A = this chain, B = another copy of it.
């Protein structure tokens, strides 16, 4: 079982720094987890991820189940050896992708039936199946199958999805214990849409089942930012102090700073990787679109203070040239920078908590971006 230790608790906010162990190494929180959908963080090698300082990466169960499939990954005794990543891996349950990417054909208490977005083939994902697939992937942190609901949604629809999520969480936990000896870790996922009382009900139901860690799901699904933060503010403190709290699929650098202040420990998001492929760089002073003609002759790196391979070696002019010419190297160099930026942000947040100046860090973070708070 996961042994989460809080090293330092911020006195002015709910921010905390901690650590826990997995079968593939220790994780220091707050932590950002780059998204490696198909057994690769897009455009990066495992060596690149190490160089950027990634502690743990995320794999998408839905994608990996369809391609290359469990039969292939079993040959390698799991995703780690298949993709050459020696650190911890967290896998989602596949639920979110079924609702967002596949064609969902029916949903019931036994699971979700869907058609593959690749070849239209039909599949049933049951709570037990979600755990079995993740166990086959060798995931260090598995997630319960949950029903994520879009925004906006009726209270009755949210309530129904919440209850089904609890039912599935129970079945996932049973499968994990009975079939997989409770090995590695299984996290429960809080749902409840944008209804504070439903969020609290979900927390109560999940914590009474009991998990090594908890995630807040169903955020960043189209709701206004204030509402997202309000729901996190309601949910996070209701979760047990002595387990990691993971806010799924969120978000911008600002979101991460704010969610840490509310008590979140773990994050994943496609923004650094996806934006990189769209020519968008994250930096201390804000975002930069490398297509902009003002960078055509610019000999400076993207961020003069950044220690990533891209900023240490290449100019904005060169990065712009590569991106405009659609050169493959552009995607790697851009991704290297953005992933380094996010990982470094999490490191700086953690250091500031350990050094008891997280509120100062937070103020400086906004000052650098020219945001008045």
Residues of A within 8 A of B (CB): 38-40, 42-47, 67-68, 71-72, 75-76, 82-84, 277, 296-297, 299, 309, 313-315, 317-318, 320-322, 324-325, 327-329, 331-333
Contact = CB atoms under 8 A, between A and B. Distances in A.
Given A45-B333, A84-B318, A317-B82, A76 B299 contact: yes
A315 B81 CA distance: 9
26 contacts: A38-B325, A40-B322, A40-B328, A42-B327, A42-B329, A43-B328, A43-B332, A45-B309, A45-B332, A67-B321, A67-B324, A67-B325, A68-B324, A75-B297, A75-B299, A76-B299, A76-B315, A76-B317, A76-B318, A82-B315, A82-B318, A82-B321, A83-B318, A84-B313, A328-B331, A332-B332
Contacts of A39: 318, 321-322
A42 B324 contact: no
Given A44-B329, A328-B332, 7 more contacts: A38-B321, A40-B322, A40-B329, A42-B327, A42-B328, A46-B313, A68-B320
Please tell me how many copies of the chain the complex holds. 2
Contacts of A47: 309
Given A83-B318, A84-B318, A297 B43 contact: no
Contacts of A83: 318
Nearest to A314: B84
A72 B315 CA distance: 11
B328 A328 contact: yes
A327 B71 contact: no
A296 B68 contact: yes
A97 to B, nearest CB: 15
Contacts of A309: 45, 47
Given A45-B329, A84-B318, A72 B296 contact: yes
A332 B83 CA distance: 14
A273 B332 CA distance: 17
A198 to B, nearest CB: 37
Given A328-B43, A329-B44, A72 B313 contact: no
Contacts of A42: 327-329
Most buried by B among A315, A329, A331: A329
B321 A68 contact: yes
